[in-house]
Amino acid sequence: MPQKLLPTMSSPELLRHLSMEGLSELAAEMRTAICEQVARSGGHLAPNLGVIELTIAMHRVFDFSHDRLLFDVGHQCYPHKLLTGRYPLLSKLRQRGGMAGFPEPRESPYDLFSVGHAGTAISTAVGMARGDTLNGEGFCESNPNGRRVVSIIGDASIVNGVAMEGLNNAGTLKRQFLVILNDNGMSIAKPQGAVAAYFDRLRLSHTYGEFKRAAKEFSKVVPGGRTMAEVYHKLGEVSKTCVSEDAWFEHFGLVTVGPVDGHDIPTLIDVLNEAKHFDRPMVLHVKTVKGKGFKFAEGDSTTFHSPSPFTMMNDEGDELVSEGCRVELKKSARSFTGAFGEILADLMARDAKVVACTAAMPDGTGVSKVINRFPDRVFDTGICESHALDMMAGLAKTGWKPFLAVYSTFLQRAFDQAFQESALQGLPVRLCLDRAGFVGGDGAVHHGFCDVALLATLPKACLMAPMDEPSLKAAVEFMAGYEDGLSAVRYPRDSVSQMFTHEACPPFVPGKARALITHTDPQVALLGYGTSAIDAAEAARELALDGIRADVYDARFAKPVDIELIAGLVARGIPIVTIEDHSIRGGFGACVLEACNERKVETRGITRLAMPDGWIYQGERKEQLAEVGLDPASIAASARKVALKSARAMAGA
């Protein structure tokens, strides 16, 4: 059996010693390795399968130990990591000590930014291009050994507003600058909007069929030794045969070439070799197939965009990795996302004024459960969070009840709109924040750690967190009737607890917590915000084994907090521990301290447990909670210290 190539890829330099057949063999090995690992650990599958040949070609042509490579979104970086010496880290993908699921400068100098949000690559690349030029290090005719700059953007993030701003400025550069548009006809879900429709038309046009022939003539019409003016002239001639006359990027001042077959390694290498020497901003439009190489991923690239672990089997039930295998996703417990989708569907069926929206995340937010059922009242804007929130404000202004389902980490991109168009206008836009708190394997780029800190600054904003499915339903019902301003509910990427579902869930009342466990003479009170209330209840049971009586409350609201409850506990001399899956800066605990300060309530007996003021990287969500002292055992340990310290203080008094 011949030796495999992939384990030997300690550096991209080795690509230059492989034949075209060798490069194809390497691509096949990478495709299998990625699929096998994602099947074990979960992760981003379809986006990475689609860029393998493109990534090989980029690293074959450019030297990114010297040149600049900027990724957009970043979830298509697995092939790049495998080619830059990180194959040994693949077996622990998205786990502690293993390969991060997004570009991570701590891992390798080949990763320039830790990036997991869409639309940023062109702007950061423009900045690096300008910086290199100012440093005298940029590639140009007089500095042929200077640094070149390449940004790769795909999965429909080109429609993001920041990407548009970057394109607008990139067209003013007077130097080499290459934007590679990875056009796979998909976002995370089906792409939305007029720009997406434009690319659909372009992919279906006759020009794509002509491009492969034109690209192979490229090196013939531009032999070595030509001046840049001649290269530009010849490139323009080829471009005219490659794209339609109304090439969209030309209006930004960027020469446009393509679309080119993103799985044809020789053609990609030919075109990139010429683009490498071009001294003006250029867009190379590359057509790829998301999920390439495995029919199950190609046929359902939304499901296999970022799947949980799965099993591939043949008809006899044997596990394997092959083109014709069938796939079974491993079943997981009921999630908050799934519960929210059904709650929203029920609400929309009962209230004809409710409308819903997502920004390219219908499956990730549960909105997929209502898109087909209420097509006139559900909108997917694509990767455009700012636009989505403004659109919801417009719907609110015209008398509708808008719900925007968005990941907490992506809400940050629309905070200005939450302020200006919703809160300032007194419009009741309703935010449903999935993936709040620690998100596990996606790591620091996706943790939802600052939504309370941001939104609590907005007058009349009402901020909530449910601890389980019944309380999520109660929170959504409350939001449907809340008309005083913006409201938000946050919940984690986790399964729903059944601990308190045997009890009736009371409705949400602004500023009122829910008592879960109470004693006549408690030694400590635990106030959990969101699912931290469940962890607090588990901690209380552990404390009970030590004879420590702990009251537990589901805080429900970060704004307004239940100051009457807190003031009453303080007056009785009961120490309080606040617990939350949010940054300690500006979170629920901070809201408690602020409310106490306003009411002149003593705060020395209040202890805050929260996400620390630092970055927490990839791993299991339970690992992350334990690392920062937010798992039940750690909560119990902290509460035990608080209770014993209070008892000693009272005895001394």
Contact 591, 462 (CB under 8 A): no
Which distant-in-sequence residues (6+ apart) come within 8 Å of 344 by Cβ? 356, 366, 367, 369, 370, 403, 405, 432, 476
At residue 310, the pLDDT reads 86
At residue 243, the pLDDT reads 44
Which distant-in-sequence residues (6+ apart) come within 8 Å of 410 by Cβ? 117, 359, 361, 385
**How far is residue 618's CA from residue 42's CA, in Å, rounded to a whole number?**
13
| Region of residue 321 (phi > 0: left; psi between -120 and 50: alpha; otherwise: beta) | beta
Let me know if the fold of 336-490 is the same as that of 514-652: yes
Taking the CB of residue 6, how many other CB atoms lie within 10 A of it? 17
At residue 248, the pLDDT reads 72
* Stated pTM of the model: 0.85
Say whether domain 336-490 belongs to CATH 3.40.50.970.
yes
pLDDT in tens, 81-93: 999 999 999 999 9
At residue 216, the pLDDT reads 45
Question: Could you tell me the end-to-end alpha-carbon distance of the chain, in angstroms, rounded to an integer?
Answer: 80
Supply 648's token pair: 């000693």
Q: List beta partners, residue 183.
A: 287
Give me the CATH topology for the region 6-287.
Answer: Rossmann fold (3.40.50)
At residue 647, the pLDDT reads 83
At residue 221, the pLDDT reads 46
Per DSSP, the three-state class of 78 is: helix
Supply 403's token pair: 């719900």
Handedness of CA 377, 381, 385, 389 (dihedral sign): negative
Angle at 268 between CA 262 and CA 272, to 5 degrees: 130
User: 52: closest CA among 9, 94, 92, 17?
Assistant: 9
At residue 280, the pLDDT reads 92
Per DSSP, the three-state class of 460 is: coil
User: Burial, 148: exposed, middle or buried (Cβ in 10 Å; 0-12, 13-18, 19+)?
Assistant: buried
At residue 25, the pLDDT reads 96
What angle, rounded to 10 degrees, do the helices at 52-61 and 265-275 form? Answer: 40
At residue 159, the pLDDT reads 82
Contact 114, 445 (CB under 8 A): yes
3.30.310.50, 3.40.50.2300, 3.40.50.920, 3.20.20.70: which CATH number matches 514-652? 3.40.50.920
Q: Where are the domains of the chain?
A: 6-287, 295-328, 336-490, 514-652
Contact 164, 134 (CB under 8 A): no
Sheet hosting strand 281-287, strand order edge to edge: 68-71, 149-154, 177-183, 281-287, 255-261
At residue 241, the pLDDT reads 42
At residue 189, the pLDDT reads 53
Contact 152, 67 (CB under 8 A): no
- pLDDT below 70 — which residues of the chain? 1-2, 155, 186-247, 314-326, 653
At residue 232, the pLDDT reads 45
Please, which contacts does 593-597 make with residues 24 or more away whose CB atoms are closer than 8 Å?
595/560, 595/561, 595/563, 595/566, 596/563, 596/566, 596/567, 596/570
Q: Which residues of 20-30 are buried (b: 16+ CB within 10 A; e: fewer)?
A: eeebebbbebb
